[in-house]
Amino acid sequence: MEVSKSSLKCILFIAKFINSFYNSKINLNIFKGVILIILSIKNLDITFRTNAGNIHAIRGVNFDLPRGKTVALVGESGSGKSVTMKAVTGLLDSNCIINSGNIFYNFNGQTVDLLTFSKKDLRQKINGQQIAMVFQDPMTSLNPTMTIGAQIMEGMLLHKKISTSDAEKKAVELLNLVGIIDAEKRIKNYPHQLSGGMRQRVVIAIALSCEAKILICDEPTTALDVTIQAKILNLIKDIQSQMNLSVIYITHDLGVVAKVADFVNVMYAGKIIETGTVDEIFYDPRHPYTWGLLSAMPDLETDDDRLYSIPGSPPNLLHEPTGDAFAARNKFAMKIDEKAAPPMFKISETHYAATWLLHPDAPKIELPPELKARLERSRKAADL
Ligand code: ADP
Ligand code: MG
């Protein structure tokens, strides 16, 4: 179908208007394929070859990143969060096999599939300039033998037509933006002369230096103490709204998710098992694994002890699970959970969960009462 430029502009204007009207309750399906989805992962399926056998680490992952929003990927260690994101930036280890999938990216107005890009093309055209990553340990991203100024300028000098003195000015601006005091002096420092929190700020400055559209943060505050963690989270949020960045935020900590995310994808054993807006996941969770994660976090208001920790451990993906991979740890599991993996059941336009408990014929299971009381308390506190 041919669409004229003016009607496209009109559609975009209406879409933006509706988007701002609904804010986080945006209906993703309406906007798919227009412009508001900047990255769309479809049916991503990845195996690793190892001496012990094949590990089916990612088992059909789907999700969208709306432009200017933050999508969190949350789940226990080993659930497949980092591998999913490494597939986007071509950083997967060489023993991987990509069984299927597409990673659609809106590249200057054209939709491209990043899985068809060579590692070289990803390095030259995408990484840093379009999609930047911040990892848990800043020292893995920083070069100990170069000043931080030189490291912030490196990408700009390589990819942008910019003079050294302009790049230096921009480096100082970026250090100011990420809250480093005395930026003119600090650009001459080496990484070892900075604290852990400051190093992570520098890594964020490097990530922003080439004006990437997407920032992927992989547990960026896990190695930092709690007060520094809160500062870095606020920094990422501020920068995101100032620069209209789209952010994918990986964490095992739902407390962090509550602070940063618009949308949440809960991962378990290489699959997304619940997806929704942050309100849907925190106030109306439907998957028993999400109940377990919510119960296992300390109370946000009172800093109380955890209600509960999920018994057992995730399955070993060397052996393909038959049925629902969560069944062995799920006290609400039914016979069907042992036989067949549940599909995603729809709860709302933005909220889906893969649990047989949502099948119309399943017994009605209520949220565990302690968790229900806790969620009601936090909802009241949030409404005040
Ligand atoms: P997390 O959710 O903690 O980020 P990962 O995405 O790093 O988890 O890992 C998901 C699964 O993939 C884990 O079981 C991990 O052991 C496995 N995995 C990751 N990289 C490799 C590799 N190079 N070879 C074999 N298994 C791997
Ligand atoms: Mg990880």
Query: Measured in angstroms, how far is the CA atom of residue 218 from the centroid of ligand 2?
Result: 7
The backbone torsions φ and ψ at residue 78, rounded to the nearest 5 degrees and listed phi first, read 90, 0
Cβ atoms of 273 and 74 within 8 Å: the answer is: no
In angstroms, how far apart are the furthest CA atoms of the chain? 68
Contact 85 CB / ligand 1 (< 6 Å): no
Contact 251 CB / ligand 1 (< 6 Å): no
Residues of 310-326 as b/e, b for ≥16 C-beta within 10 angstroms?
beeebbebeeebebbbb
Q: Residues 42-80: pLDDT tens digits?
A: 999 999 999 999 999 999 999 999 999 999 999 999 999
Contact 82 CB / ligand 1 (< 6 Å): yes
DSSP secondary structure string for all residues of 293-315: HHHHSPPTTT-PPPS----S-PP
Q: Residues 275-292: pLDDT tens digits?
A: 999 999 999 999 999 999
Whose alpha carbon is nearest atom 13 of ligand 1?
78
Going from N- to C-terminal start, the domains of the chain cover 5-130+212-383
CATH number given to 5-130+212-383: 3.40.50.300
Question: For the residues 345-368, what does the mean pLDDT come to?
Answer: 95
Whether 218 shows a pLDDT value over 80: the answer reads yes
Can you tell me the distance from the alpha carbon of 280 to that of 267, in angstroms, rounded to the nearest whole number? Answer: 16
Contact 50 CB / ligand 1 (< 6 Å): yes
Query: Measured in angstroms, how far is the CA atom of residue 326 from the centroid of ligand 2?
Result: 20
**Residue 173 contacts by C-beta under 8 Å, 6 or more apart in sequence?**
183
Q: Residues 8-48: pLDDT tens digits?
A: 454 444 444 443 333 333 333 444 444 489 999 999 999 99
Query: Measured in angstroms, how far is the CA atom of residue 89 from the centroid of ligand 2?
Result: 14
Ramachandran assignment for 42, one of left (phi > 0), alpha (psi -120 to 50 degrees), beta (any other): beta
State which ligand 1 atom lies nearest to the alpha carbon of 75.
2
Ramachandran assignment for 78, one of left (phi > 0), alpha (psi -120 to 50 degrees), beta (any other): left
Percent of the chain at pLDDT above 90?
71
Question: For the residues 191-218, what does the mean pLDDT come to?
Answer: 94
In this prediction, residue 384 has a pLDDT band, given cuts at 50, 70 and 90, of low
Q: What DSSP character marks residue 366? A: P
Query: Minimal CA–CA distance to 345: which of 337, 334, 332, 355?
Result: 355
Average pLDDT, the chain: 88
Whose alpha carbon is nearest atom 1 of ligand 1?
78
For residue 2, with 0-12 CB atoms within 10 Å meaning exposed, 13-18 middle and 19 or more buried, which class applies?
Answer: exposed
Q: Which ligand is nearest to the CA of 73?
A: 1
Report the pLDDT value the prediction gives residue 302, as an integer from 0 to 100: 60
In this prediction, residue 159 has a pLDDT band, given cuts at 50, 70 and 90, of confident
Kindly report the three-state secondary structure assignment for every residue of 146-162: CCHHHHHHHHHHHHCCC
Query: Measured in angstroms, how far is the CA atom of residue 19 from the centroid of ligand 1?
Result: 36
Task: Tell me the residue ranges of DSSP E strands in 51-138.
Answer: 53-66, 70-74, 96-107, 110-113, 131-134
Report the pLDDT value the prediction gives residue 340, as an integer from 0 to 100: 96
Report the pLDDT value the prediction gives residue 16, as an integer from 0 to 100: 41
Whether 305 shows a pLDDT value over 70: the answer reads no
